[in-house]
Structure 1
Amino acid sequence: MSHTKSRPLRSAQWFGTADKNGFMYRSWMKNQGIPDHEFQGKPIIGICNTWSELTPCNAHFRKIAEHVKRGIFEAGGFPVEFPVFSNGESNLRPTAMLTRNLASMDVEESICGNPVDGVVLLTGCDKTTPALLMGAASCDIPAIVVTGGPMLNGKHEGKDIGSGTAVWQLHEAVKAGQITLHEFMSAEAGMSRSAGTCNTMGTASTMACMAEALGTSLPHNAAIPAVDARRYVLAHMSGMRIVDMVWEDLRLSKVLTRQAFENAIRVNAAIGGSTNAVIHLKAIAGRIGVPLELEDWTITGRGTPTIVDLMPSGRFLMEDFYYAGGLPGVLRRLLEAGLLPHPDALTVNGNTLGENTRGAPIHNEEVIRPLDRPLVADGGICILRGNLAPRGAVLKPSAASPALMRHRGQAIVFEDFDHYKSRINDPDLPVDANSVLVMKHCGPKGYPGMAEVGNMGLPPKLLAQGVTDMVRISDARMSGTAYGTVVLHVAPEAAAGGPLAIVRDGDWIELDCGAGRLHLDISAEEMAARLERIQNMPAAPNRGGYQKLYVDHVLQADEGCDFDFLVGCRGAEVPKHSH
């Protein structure tokens, strides 16, 4: 693409002056063996790397970064790699969600305070994708996303198994007495057999698809397997592209528009994406200044068929999805049916989403189904409201049991996750298949961090009877790899004095997904009396430090769980120099 290489570069305010400050900035950088000509009119491209051996999904990012650098050099830029906090889902306790906002602050300050003209965001594990997009959006400089890609299909006893999803399935089978503990443990090595993120349509794959649907990555970024050589080609091409984006001044605010978010919401329904996307898209939108509400998921997402047949909702895995055509194939289906809301939305390669999509090949119609043969007829995230969730709650229809989408049952209540663990295995628990499992104090403030514990395992005595699903309600989140008729993100949360805090054993609860209703069947007077009794309850203790900052400033789930002081785009005005 032709472009003008004469616009002022941000990095020139560090390296472009013939005075004491320019001398010092260049001199210190030259201790790495950088020749003088690299500072003369070339875009300085930051490579924001979430590599960490404690984040196994991102442990191969050093190699990906090298391919990005090759592309940057080839296009006439100069790459500078820098680390940011890597909040890996698999190892980090109590939950990686607790540090998503911390990572975003790291990204924002690293970009704003350093001499970079554009940035390549190396993302992968669940929270690294939204965290890096949030931080970069607050700066509003040219940025492009390169994810690490999904793992190869898991293999166990001659069958494909999905990372994460297999854990939930096999663990329930152990509790039901269907398999032995040895059989359960034997699946461990085969589930995660290559570099990369979860190979199911979990949160990592969902957010990679969201990044592509938003237009912040090159086509096919979402699905190329981590160990496929085409992943490195895409990294190289992304490195080349970011240099042109700097010259074109193609900043994130030109890509992350209201139209882009509506496209992403529609795509999330079509792929059967994780409920976590609701929180992360809201947070990203808040940083760039785009209004986005829970109702947008109803207006834009509902009525959209889920056409991607992937675990946990379906049969296949991300490796199959890429070979079938990847996200461009899904976008083509939506485009041809008139279901892509804004095909003219701009993407980072300079083309519109529609231009990137037209004619995209589809090689397997079992994986990417025709619209007249969907996996789920209405796959849009179900937004629920009612006296139990005045500010909303969410449910993923493609992972739920159709028979439970409209349900009335009596509550079995767990005051927190520890109470759930101590009570769920009790053979005398007064529970049956019609009961509604309710867990409190697992939201943003309550856990803290809103851990992925909402998909509560079922009582063993019901599993032994053949029960495979129940309605479950909490203010927690659920892993994107999990499944079931699970109501999540109840807002306000129990720890913030929401009505969830007052539910008692035996209370009747009504769920009606079609009507978007979640109702606690007690009188208004009884509800008011119960709420008054909890108003003066002491706050949950926390460790202080960052956890205190988190609890004091985190917004509720319907607002994206960002910090109140981080919402908004602050730009990347060059800070005053200190010399």
Structure 2
Amino acid sequence: MSAKRDPAALRSHRWFGAADLRSFGHRSRIRQLGFDLADVAGRPVIAIVNTWNGLAHCHGHFPARVEAIRRGVLEAGGFPVEIPVMALPENFVKPTTMLYRNLLAMEVEENLRSLPVDGAVLMGGCDKTTPATIMGAISAGLPAIFMPAGPMLRGNWGGKILGSGSDVWKYWDEKRAGNISDAQWADMESGIARSDGVCMTLGTAMTMTSLAEVLGLTLPGATSIPAPDSGHARMATATGRRAVDLVWEGLRPSDILTAASFDNAIIASAALAGSTNAIIHLIAMARRAGIPLWLDRFDELSSGVKVLADIRPSGAYLMEDFFYAGGLPAFLTRIAHRLDLSTRTVNGRTLGDNIAEAKVWNEEVIRPEQNPVSFAEGLAVLRGNLAPDGCVMKPSAAEPRLLKHEGPVLVFDDYDAMARAVADPDLDVTPDHVLVLRNAGPLGGPGMPEWGMLPIPVKLLRQGVRDMVRISDARMSGTSYGACILHVAPEAFIGGPLALIRTGDVIAVDVAARRIAVQLTDDELLLRRAAWTPPPPRYPRGYGAMAAAHIGQANTGCDFDFLQRDGAILEPEIH
């Protein structure tokens, strides 16, 4: 256990230890909850920030994990308090959980600021809960440690191993092509999600929890443990114990997060071929910590990084296999020469210390650099007259023939129009066409939904086509794949160049050159801009209206302008 500071220096002492009328009220209400003053006096109060509700499919084990964390906090001499916050179950929230990431971050921050707590365990995993809880904790400025949900077990169907999302998209195309029956599809529904835990592919959930570990915010090895594994409960208890020590040490996220730790996360994401959503979330998290991370840094650091994790959608295996192969610590040994191993982590050791003894047990799952999964890069940032502020692509998940492509455009202004068109067997489309979906960005979506992996038109599916160039100001699921160009900035809804193109225009993409352009003159673009009419706002009131007034574009992390750090974090006085 860490050396204790003066208990009177604890933040919670201002509620429970002072000799005034307000503290009388605080102490009496603790007694009302069934506790004695000895339960809280002089002990660090640890908030267990729980992103669980009855529809939180990936977090179904969190009530049990709360008890494991609580045990660890008590063992270390702290006082645990569960604080429920928004769960954001990815599959159920409409229009998209991304719309509410910043709301959850605000909820976490304000709970930690306003309540008598000294530190926090952040429970998350399902896509937006990881960046949101971390963003809130960074801004609140209290000691905090992240407990990842862990991946679910492998899916199974008809003797085949299934992976969340990635195999759904693949078999859905086969069903649309007439190769899978309704009965087979129903069987697949029953076999693809077999346990608690997040998607077991390298989707957004596993990408972000992995990067939380690289950033130093979890215990080493915490991310890779499957949710149903007994080791996951033990990790939760250890996380609770460590949360108490963090308070005595005064170690906050801002003491751990540096430009170097974010560089490490970018490099790791590239070698994992992680979700493109990580770009948006890492930028937002960095800026909460006062680190000016920009889109070009991702391209700079990702260049030349080979994909070494043979995990779907870019590979063949699943996260359960990754765990048995050594997990994230073993994986990081493969790219250690690219990392700053001196960065700090929540266990008080450096990243280098944490991976020093890690070993790779399966070189098919965690590849050496001389035998990568793909020589294609895990990330590319493209720019041009169609995306002056940048857009992103995962080259390793695309058919190589499409990494340099030129073709006529088929433009859709909204998702419903696109869905109707691609289902039309008589659609005027060829494999060379470039499909474009616009008005799906942070404001246009609203909330930048995961619509970026536009479906292949059924006409082409029946011809055997399984990939084509698709462009959008939307995001796509981290479990998705294909030649999808995403996060076009600025978005069409606010008048970005994507708003000006028309069906029949020609777009050229050259990933190696990092270029994307519509073949129109500047004069023609100016004429079209003059004729463009802004669409009406998506929300006239409420949180949606607030989000529209303050949200940034994809290249700046989609955070609210008033939440990004500006100078020191100042905690208001309690009166």
**Corresponding residue SS for 1:186:** helix
Does structure 1 residue 446 correspond to structure 2 residue 444? yes
- Which of residues 476, 493, 496 in structure 1 aligns to 2:494? 496
**CA RMSD for the aligned pairs?**
1.2
Task: State the shift of 1:567 in Å.
Answer: 1.0
Question: SS of the residue aligned with 1:426?
Answer: coil
- SS of 1:491's equivalent in the other structure is coil
Determine which of 371, 376, 379 is the counterpart of 2:377.
379
Could you say what secondary structure the match of 1:391 adopts? strand
* Aligned residue number for residue 9 of structure 1: 10
Could you give the per-residue CA deviations for residues 89-115 of structure 1, whole angstroms, max 9, x where no partner exists? 110011011111111110010000011
Q: Distance in 2 between matches of 1:120 and 1:41?
A: 19
Residue matched to 2:426 = 428
Whole-angstrom CA distance in 2 between matches of 1:67 and 1:522: 60
- Structure 2 counterpart SS, 1:46: strand
Deviations along 1:165-200, one digit per CA (max 9) or x if unpaired, are 121111100111111122122100100010111111
Q: Which residue of 2 aligns with 1:546?
A: 543
Shift of 1:40: 2.0
Write the letter of the residue equivalent to 1:208.
T
**Native 8 Å contact 1:124 1:147 kept in 2:** yes
After TM superposition, give the deviation of residue 378 of structure 1 in Å.
Answer: 4.2
Three-state SS of the structure 2 residue aligned to 1:241 is: helix
SS in 2 for 1:490: coil
- Which deviates further from its counterpart, 179-188 or 63-72? 179-188
Q: Does 1:437 align with 2:435?
A: yes
Contact 1:113 1:574 in 2 (8 A): no
Equivalent in the alignment of 1:564: 561
Query: Matches of 2:506 and 2:409 in 1, distance apart?
Result: 6
Contact 1:64 1:148 in 2 (8 A): no
Aligned to 2:79: 78
1:149 maps to 150
Query: Are residues 333 and 188 of structure 1, via their aligned partners in 2, closer, same or farther at CA, if it must alter by over 3 Å?
Result: same
2:277 equivalent in structure 1: 276
Question: Any conservation in 2 of the 1:98–1:450 contact (CA below 8 Å)?
Answer: yes
**Equivalent position of 2:171 in the other structure:** 170
The alignment of Structure 1 onto Structure 2 pairs a total of residues equal to 573
Offset, 1:256? 1.2
| Structure 2 stretches lacking a partner, 5+ long | none
Equivalent residue of 2:334, what SS? helix
Structure 1 stretch displaced more, 483-492 or 391-400:
391-400
Equivalent residue in structure 2 for 1:463, among 446, 461, 464? 461
For 1:139, the equivalent position in structure 2 comes to 140
Worse-matched range after superposition: 345-354 or 548-557:
548-557
Stretches of structure 1 that go unaligned for 5 or more consecutive residues are none
Partner of 1:313: 314
Which AA in structure 2 matches 1:406?
K
Q: Work out whether 1:555 is the aligned partner of 2:546.
A: no
Measured in 2, the distance between the counterparts of 1:51 and 1:330 equals 30
Q: Deviations over 1:266-306 (max 9, x none)?
A: 00011110000000001111111111000110111221111
Q: Which residue of 2 aligns with 1:62?
A: 63
Shift of 1:441: 0.3
Give yes or no for the alignment of 1:31 onto 2:28.
no
| Partner SS for 1:506 | coil
Match of 1:367?
A: 365
How far apart in 1 are the matches of 2:28 and 2:396? 57
Distance in 1 of aligned mates of 2:418 and 2:114: 45
Spell out, residue by residue over 1:458-499, the C-alpha distance to the aligned partner (whole angstroms, 9 max, x if none): 001101111110000000000001110100000000001000
Give structure 1 regions of 4+ aligned residues with deviation exceeding 3 angstroms.
569-572
Contact 2:427–2:459 (CA<8 Å) still a contact in 1? no
SS in 1 for 2:217: coil
| TM-score normalised by length of structure 2 | 0.98
Counterpart Cα distance in 1 of 2:266 and 2:397: 17
Amino acid at match of 2:335: L
Q: Do the aligned partners of 1:495 and 1:540 also contact (CA within 8 Å) in 2?
A: no
- Bigger shift: residues 489-498 or 82-91: 82-91
Corresponding residue of 1:487: 485
1:148-180 per-residue CA deviation (whole Å, 9 max, x = no partner) reads 111100011112100111211111001111111
Q: Secondary structure of the equivalent of 2:373?
A: coil
Measured against aligned partners, the alpha-carbon deviations of 1:311-342 in whole angstroms (never above 9, x if no partner) come to 1111111111111111101111111xx122x1
Check conservation: 1:276, 1:477, Cα contact below 8 A: yes
Identity of aligned residues (%): 48
State whether residues 400 and 485 of structure 1, in contact with CA within 8 Å, keep that contact through their aligned partners in structure 2: yes
User: Which residue of 2 is the match for residue 40 of structure 1?
Assistant: 41
Letter in 2 for 1:144: I
Aligned to 1:323: 324
The match for 1:515 among 513, 516, 522 is 513
Residue 212 of structure 1, CA deviation:
0.4
- What SS does the aligned partner of 1:237 have? helix
Residues 1:242 and 2:243 aligned together = yes
